[in-house]
Structure 1
Amino acid sequence: MLHQPERTVRSSRLWQPKRVLVTPSALARSHGRVIVERVEALGIPVERLASDRLPLERDSDARGYYAQAKSTLAVVVAPPSKLRLQPIAPSADWRVDLAEGCPAHCSYCYLAGSLKGPPITRVYANLDEIVGVLPDHLGRGVVTSKSAARAGEGTTFEASCYTDPLAIEHLTGSLSSLIERFGRWEADVQLRFTTKFAAVEPLLGLDHRGRTRMRASLNPAEFARFEGGTSPVGERLRALRRMAEAGYPVGLTIAPIIAAEGWQDAYGGLVAEVAAALGDVAAAGDLTVELITHRFTPGSKAVLRSWYPGSDLDLGEAGRREKRTRFGAVKQVYDAPTMSALRRFFETRLAAELPGGRILYWT
C-alpha cells in the first residue's frame, strides 16, 4: 500500500458546455440516453435535434465562431470509420475513440488542423458498437502486442487520441464504462488514457483490475499560459497519486516539450515536483514516462494562429526541421541539436530523480 501524504484535495473544475445538442440517432442508443440524463441532471438544457445534421453554421466573426464551437457538446453516433481501429504508435497498439474534440484551450493543440469542421466536442452514443470491435484486435498490434520491451502490457488500446476523456467524464460516463468493461475482460489487454484534468473521483472505486493505465499530461507551471482551461499541474499530480493508491498503473506524458527560453529550469522544476509527489510510486516499479516534443504542421499552425492570436508560443521555423510522416504529410520538429539537448536533459534528470520510472519512448 502506498503511503498517502497529508494533503487537501479540492474539487477540480468541471467543464460546463453552454450548448448541448443530441441527434435522433444518438437518442436511439442506450448510452446516448444515459449521456442526456447525466447532462440534464447537471441542470444543462439539451437541444433534441430533428435530424442528425448539426446546426453549426460558420460565422464571419472567426473568434466568435471558435468560442461558440468550443462551448458546444454534441451527442452523436460515431461514424463507421471509428469502428475500423487504427494503429497509434508509439503510444499503443490501437486507437479507440470515445469522443472527438476537447474543451481545453491549449495554444499548441495537436488536434488543430487534424479535425474537420468547427472545434466542438462530439461524444459518441454507440459505445456498445465501439467496444464490440475490440476483441477482433487482440494480439494484432505492433507497439506492445509484438514488442519484447512492452509485451507485458498486452494488447493496448489508447482512448485519448482525439479527446481528453477525463475532461468530459462527468457528462458522459464513457470512460468509467470502458474501464469497467476492461476490468471484466479476461484477456491480456490494457486500456490507456492521458489527461490534463484532475477530476478522477468517478474512477477511484471502479473494478478496474489493473487493466487501465492513467497518465497525467504535464508541462511546467511556467508554461501554464499555453494550457488554458486545464487543471493546474499540482492537481494533476495529486489526481495521479490518488489513482495509484486506488491500484491503477499510472504514468507521465510530458508533452509537448517546449524548448522556450528557460526550458531547463522549468522542466527541472517539473521533474522535481513529480519526484516529490510520486517518487515512491516510481520506486514501486511501474511508473511509465512518455516524452513528446512540440511539433506542428502548416495546417495546425494556421488554425492555432486564428484561434489564439495573442499566444506567444513560438511557431516559427528557426531551430526546426521538416519531417515527413509515413503518409507524406509535413510537420515541423526541433532540429537535431535541440532534440539532442532536450533528450539528454530528460534522460539524465529522470534517471537521477525518478530512477524507477520507465521511459517508454521519445519522439
Structure 2
Amino acid sequence: MTTPQELDLTTISPTRLWVPQHVMITRAAADLPHTAEIIRRCERAGVDDIRFLPGNALTGLRGASERETYASAKNTLAVVVAPPSALKPQPIPPSADWRIDLAKGCPAHCQYCYLAGSLQGPPVTRVYANIDDVLDGIRTHAGRGSVTRGTLERGNEGTTFEMSCYTDPLGIESVTGSLAAAISRVGAGEFGSDVQMRFTTKFDDVGELVTLDHGRRTRVRFSVNAAEVANRFEGGTARMPARLAALRAVAAAGYRVGLTIAPIMPIPGWREQYGALLDDVSGAVAGIGDLDLTAEIITHRFTPASKEVLLGWYPKTKLEMDEDLRSQKRSKFGGVKYVYPKQTMTEMREWFTEELERRLPAARLLYWT
C-alpha cells in the first residue's frame, strides 16, 4: 500500500470541478462553524455571489420557464440546517445499514438522475451546516443494523453508513469540506472502530482525500458505466478514464474501494462495451497491494414521477423510458417502477456475474438489482 506521503499529489488534479455561481446561506446556518469553512472554500474557488438570507426559506430560485429554473438551481449552493427529520438515520438496504445525509441535491446533469421525483422544488444543492448533528447519527446507530452488521457475507464491514443517497458528496467537496470532515472523524475512531462509511461518486477530485488519515474505515465507490451510456447521459461529471485514475489513487492511499456499475442498460453491443469497462477497471487496480474492491450492479429503472421530471429537465433526451418495453415492479407500499423484462434481466445478470469473476476476480459482488 502506498502511503499518502508517498503519493505524487501533483498528478492528482480533477478534470471536473463544480463551482456554484450563487451561494445562499440561511439564517439558521449563518453562525455555525462549518458554514465558515464552506464560505472559505467558496471564496477560494472564486465565488462572488455569497448571500446571507434574512430567514430560512430559499427564495428566488424559479425562472420564467422550467428550463430556467433548472439551470439556476443547478448553479446554486444553499447552506442550510438539516431538520430533525433528516438527522435520524434510515435503513438503506441493500447498500448499507444506515443512510446519513451530508447534503441533498447534485450539480451533475445525468439524464437518468435517480433524484428526480424524490426531491421537492427546484434541484438546488443543499449542504447541511450542522455537520456535528448529522454525524451524530453514526454514534447513535453504531452496532445496529442488519445489512452488514453481524452478517456472514459482509460482517467484516461493521456497521455501514451510506453518505451518498441524495447527493454526490465528492462533486461538491471542493466548496463544502463535509466529506473530508466525515472521513477524518470516522477514521480517527470517534464513532468506534467497528464502523465504516461509504459513498459513491462520478467525480475525480480526490487530491485532498488521499492526504487524510482515513483509518481504512471509508469505502470510496466510483459510479462507472459503458462508454456510450456515460458519454451520452452523464453530463457535468468526470469522464470514465478520470474516474478510474481516481479509483487507483484512493486505492493506493489505502482506502477500501468499490464500483457502482449503474445504471446498466442493454444498449447495442452491451456485452462488448461492459466487457471493455471491466477490463479498464482491471488495469486501473493492477498492482495495488491489499486491495479491497467491491461491486454493486444496478439496472436502469424509472417511475412515472421521475419520468415526468426528467422529461421536463431534458426534453430532448434519448434515454429509453418506454413503459411498453418494460415490466412493472411494485413496492410493498404500492409504488410502481418500470424495469427491464425478466428475460433481459436474466441475460444481463448471468453475463455480469460470469464476466466480473473472469475479468475482475478481485471484485466481490455485493448485490444485483
TM-score by length of 2: 0.94
2:201 matched to which residue of 1?
195
Q: Show CA shifts across 1:178-217 (max 9, x none).
A: 0001011232010101100000001111011100000110
CA RMSD of aligned residues (A): 1.9
Contact 1:71–1:103 (Cα < 8 Å) also in 2: yes
What SS is found at the alignment partner of 2:258? Answer: strand
What SS is found at the alignment partner of 2:211? Answer: coil
Letter matched to residue 330 of structure 1:
V
1:184 aligned onto 2:191: no
2:114 matched to which residue of 1?
110
Contact 1:319–1:338 (Cα < 8 Å) also in 2: no
1:35 matched to which residue of 2?
38
1:359 matched to which residue of 2?
365
Measure the CA separation in 2 of the matches of 1:258 and 1:28.
46
What is the 5 A alignment of 1:194-273? 194-223=200-229, 224-273=231-280
What is the 5 A alignment of 1:53-68? 53-68=57-72
1:276 aligned onto 2:279: no
Q: 2:26 aligns with which of 23, 27, 43?
A: 23
Percentage identity across aligned positions? 53
What SS is found at the alignment partner of 1:167? Answer: coil
Measure the CA separation in 2 of the matches of 1:347 and 1:39.
43
Contact 1:289–1:359 (Cα < 8 Å) also in 2: yes
Would the alpha carbon gap of residues 58 and 81 (structure 1) be closer, same or farther in structure 2, given more than 3 Å must change? same
What's the CA shift for 1:327? 3.0
Measure the CA separation in 1 of the matches of 2:2 and 2:102.
31
Q: 1:154 aligns with which of 158, 173, 176?
A: 158
Measure the CA separation in 2 of the matches of 1:96 and 1:208.
18
What SS is found at the alignment partner of 1:108? Answer: coil
Contact 1:113–1:303 (Cα < 8 Å) also in 2: yes
What SS is found at the alignment partner of 1:26? Answer: coil
Contact 1:284–1:356 (Cα < 8 Å) also in 2: no
2:312 matched to which residue of 1?
306
Contact 1:19–1:72 (Cα < 8 Å) also in 2: yes
1:92 aligned onto 2:96: yes
Measure the CA separation in 2 of the matches of 1:228 and 1:290.
22
Q: 1:323 aligns with which of 320, 329, 337?
A: 329
Q: Show CA shifts across 1:268-298 (max 9, x none).
A: 11111111112444x8552100001101110
Would the alpha carbon gap of residues 42 and 9 (structure 1) be closer, same or farther in structure 2, given more than 3 Å must change? closer
1:341 aligned onto 2:347: yes
Deviates more, 1:137-146 or 1:97-106: 137-146
Contact 1:194–1:214 (Cα < 8 Å) also in 2: yes
What's the CA shift for 1:8? 6.0
Aligned length: 362
Measure the CA separation in 2 of the matches of 1:137 and 1:27.
29
Q: Show CA shifts across 1:311-336 (max 9, x none).
A: 11100123311112233211111111
What SS is found at the alignment partner of 2:323? Answer: coil
1:288 matched to which residue of 2?
294
Would the alpha carbon gap of residues 325 and 146 (structure 1) be closer, same or farther in structure 2, given more than 3 Å must change? farther
Contact 2:13–2:205 (Cα < 8 Å) also in 1: no
Measure the CA separation in 2 of the matches of 1:243 and 1:57.
36
What SS is found at the alignment partner of 2:46? Answer: coil
What's the CA shift for 1:5? 12
What SS is found at the alignment partner of 1:295? Answer: coil
Q: Show CA shifts across 1:67-120 (max 9, x none).
A: 111111100001111111101111000000000000000000010001111100
Measure the CA separation in 1 of the matches of 2:307 and 2:11.
39
What SS is found at the alignment partner of 2:260? Answer: strand
Deviates more, 1:129-138 or 1:54-63: 54-63
Q: 2:132 aligns with which of 128, 135, 139?
A: 128
What SS is found at the alignment partner of 2:367? Answer: strand
1:168 matched to which residue of 2?
172
Q: 1:83 aligns with which of 82, 87, 90?
A: 87
Contact 1:100–1:122 (Cα < 8 Å) also in 2: yes
Would the alpha carbon gap of residues 12 and 218 (structure 1) be closer, same or farther in structure 2, given more than 3 Å must change? same
